[in-house]
Amino acid sequence: MIELRGATVTAPTSSGAVTILHPTDLTLGEPRISIIGGNGSGKSTLARLCNGLVEPSAGSVTITASGDPALDTRRDGPAVRRKVGFVFTDPSAQLIMPTVVEDVSLSLRRAHRDPVARQAAALAALERFGIDRLADHSVHTLSGGQKQLLAIASVLATDPAILVADEPTTLLDLRNSRAIGDLLMSLPQQVIIVTHDLELAARADRTLVVEDGRVVFDGPAEAAVAHYRAHA
């Protein structure tokens, strides 16, 4: 579960501070939550608050998972990011190592100190997502869909309690968008998805509509999508 209490994000400019996200109070506990809104509305900032990639300028964001004590994103940043995985719009931003298996292995270096065990765990993660045949391929030779699958596999290999995905289908064709959407909706983790794909958003248990740095609608997915369409 993720709790925002008065969470506010501002950014300094030459003419003074600009508010990117106005004070926000949310308790996010549903298994599937989608966040929709126009470009520059603040929805990606809201998503990044959920795992500490962005820290609140005021207020707080806390994470509670598996009965553990609450973690504060300012105070406990590294621990928060182990609990809350993050998938970016462009998977290339996450793929660091030369080959597919090496990239997953990198994310497992804390969990598996022994290189042999780490390699085995990385191959198991690739097999789970049906891309083990690509283990020795260069990450640069993968298709867009394969890169996004690899990015998700690398994050989920560490078994986070929550996964936040920021527009994970935006750069994909229709077939791969559907495949990634189906995958995200089937995961055992709590999943929070920022998306422009309103069909995908409508599959969530709860949807937030963000506009001008404020959550202007919070409710059942179909009602939220209808609100967004009516006011877009």
Per-domain residue ranges of the chain: 2-231
The residues facing 62 across adjacent strands are 3, 72
List CB contacts of 86: < 8 A, sequence separation 6 or more.
47, 48, 51, 53, 155, 163, 164, 165, 166
Is it true that domain 2-231 has CATH number 3.40.50.300?
yes
CA dihedral 163, 116, 92, 158 (to 10 degrees): 10
Task: Return the closest-CA partner of residue 83 out of 70, 97, 95.
Answer: 70
CB atoms within 10 A of CB 183: 18
The pLDDT tens digits along the chain (232 residues) read 999 999 999 998 888 889 999 999 999 999 999 999 999 999 999 999 999 999 999 999 999 987 789 999 999 999 999 999 999 999 988 899 999 999 999 999 888 888 899 999 999 999 988 899 999 999 999 999 999 999 999 999 999 999 999 999 988 988 899 999 999 999 999 999 999 999 999 999 999 999 999 999 999 999 999 999 998 7
